[in-house]
Chain A
Amino acid sequence: EPEVTQTPSHQVTQMGQEVILRCVPISNHLYFYWYRQILGQKVEFLVSFYNNEISEKSEIFDDQFSVERPDGSNFTLKIRSTKLEDSAMYFCASSLTGTTDTQYFGPGTRLTVL
Chain B
Amino acid sequence: GDSVTQMEGPVTLSEEAFLTINCTYTATGYPSLFWYVQYPGEGLQLLLKATKADDKGSNKGFEATYRKETTSFHLEKGSVQVSDSAVYFCALSDSSGGYQKVTFGTGTKLQVIP
Contacts and interface: CB of A to CB of B under 8 A. Distances in A.
B46 interface: yes
Contacts of B43: 6, 91, 105-108
Question: Interface residues of B toward A: which range?
Answer: 20 to 34
B103 interface: yes
Interface string B78-114: 0000000000010101010111111111110000000
Contacts, number: 67
B36 A105 contact: yes
Interface residues of A, number: 28
Interface of B: 32, 34, 36, 42-46, 49, 51, 89, 91, 93, 95, 97-107
Given A48-B100, A56-B97, 11 more contacts: A6-B43, A43-B102, A98-B95, A99-B95, A99-B100, A100-B93, A100-B100, A102-B32, A102-B46, A104-B46, A105-B46
